[in-house]
Chains A and B, each alone.
Chain A
Amino acid sequence: MSFDFAIIVDALPKMLMGIGLTFQLLIISAILGLTLAIGLMLMRISGKWYLSWPAQVYIYIFRGTPILVQIFIIYYGFPQLEFIRDSFLWPMFRDPFGCAIFALTLNTGAYVSEILRGGVLGVDRGILEAGSALGLSVRQKFIYLTTPIATRLALPAYGNDIISLLKSTALASTITLADMTGIARTLVAQTFAPYEIFISLAIVYMILTWILQKSLGRVERYLGRYMEK
């Protein structure tokens, strides 16, 4: 079998036209997902069963099902429901972009909330006791002690989830979106050259991952500057 570089040279610029959509999916669902995750994590550690229990069920459902299935349920399933078609949310669920953002957000939120909880639980109890002894309120301890320390502790695992989310955005191509993977699939259908096109697509994702890794490493070092002797 031959490897035709001409196809790659031709296909690469076309695929890169989808990079904007890939970034939109990544950034919007990462931000919304983090917000959701903070809420879920607070519910989970609240110590109140009526908050912690729903959060746990939610996390179980979204970690327990494939994200592709979640995307299909939202994109193909929701329009079947009359109350969704009649609601103000319909413009979002009618649009594949809205559905993809919704699914990615809900999914990453479930994973990240557990990552954040791990960070919060990792904060040394003695440090919080010192805060109490100095007269800090529960809220002050959470803001000034738990949050910064837990953020640093959670960061490596969180970075892992962001990288995983980047790859999950490729699933949006299954519901007609022309992100990089979506464009690649169209090109394959036109050129019958899956090998060249998917390999070059893979390389683009690797480059993006490398950039993410380096940036996350920088943030880690900055937030962890107090850990270096």
Chain B
Amino acid sequence: MTAQALIQMTNVGKFFGAFQALKGINLQVSKGERIVVCGPSGSGKSTMIRCINRLEKHDEGQIIIGGKELTDQVEDINAVRREVGMVFQSFNLFPHMTIVKNLMLAQRLVRKIPKAEAKATAMEYLERVKIPEQADKYPIQLSGGQQQRVAIARALCMKPKIILFDEPTSALDPEMIHEVLEVMTDLARDGMTMICVTHEMGFARSVADRVIFMDAGEIIEEADPKTFFNAPKSERTKKFLSQILTH
């Protein structure tokens, strides 16, 4: 099992100056697994997933993605990034490009796919996130929910083996959260390996194979959703759940 793990984090630590953002993180994710990460703000959830595609550099331990260890080697980092897609809280679409060009850029530059094929792939994924009619608009002309669906499609165009979601619905108006979660649920059904930092506990319950609770840079609890929500072991988990579920 461990040998085939798509993501293997061993004893990973990360510092921002003197502040320790991650402590002894051990995490294995195998192909097709859907992981939800939750925890209070500042607990290191985002930092942890940002280490997986090297947006943050870990200071201790080892991260192996699809058999490749993340080191300072640029080739290794690029090889890993080709396999790992990411969706951000604030969408981060390229504002100066139309939607379809947003989806084509990395295909063309990184995967060296010919223009026509890149465009066809882009349209295919826009279809999939249900906004093909927006292809020639600019990001600013779309609603937040639409922009986030575009961002998901942009990640999918690179045919990643894993997608990381960093609070994908936190910047959205309530009525738009649903359309994004729907796309994510579809992806999960199709067997995409996903790690999702989110506070959408409904999504965690229905989609996740495992829920991870983090606090103060450590993984406190890790369980299947049923156990996690019904019988949390740690006091900190119980406290966190009581805070977010009572509303």
Contacts and interface: CB of A to CB of B under 8 A. Distances in A.
Interface of A: 124, 126-127, 129-137, 140, 144-145, 148-149, 152, 225-229
Contacts of A152: 96
Interface in B107-165: 109-110, 138-141, 151, 154-155, 158
B140 A135 contact: no
Interface residues of B, number: 28
Contact of A149 (B84, B88, B92, B95): B95
Main secondary structure of the interface of A (DSSP, over half): helix
In the A-B complex, the 6 residue pairs with the closest CB atoms: A134-B106, A130-B92, A133-B86, A135-B110, A135-B81, A226-B138
A139 to B, nearest CB: 10
Nearest to A227: B140
A113 B97 CA distance: 26
B55 interface: yes
Contacts of A227: 95, 140
Contacts of B154: 134
Contacts of A144: 105, 109
A98 to B, nearest CB: 39
B109 to A, nearest CB: 5
B123 to A, nearest CB: 18
Most buried by B among A130, A131, A152, A227: A130
A127 B81 contact: no
B55 to A, nearest CB: 6
Nearest to A126: B92
Contacts of B88: 126, 129-130, 133
B110 A229 contact: no
A127 B106 contact: no
30 contacts: A126-B88, A126-B92, A127-B92, A130-B151, A131-B94, A132-B53, A132-B55, A133-B53, A133-B81, A133-B85, A133-B86, A133-B88, A133-B155, A134-B81, A134-B105, A134-B110, A135-B106, A136-B105, A140-B109, A140-B110, A144-B105, A144-B109, A149-B95, A226-B95, A226-B96, A226-B97, A226-B140, A227-B95, A229-B140, A229-B141
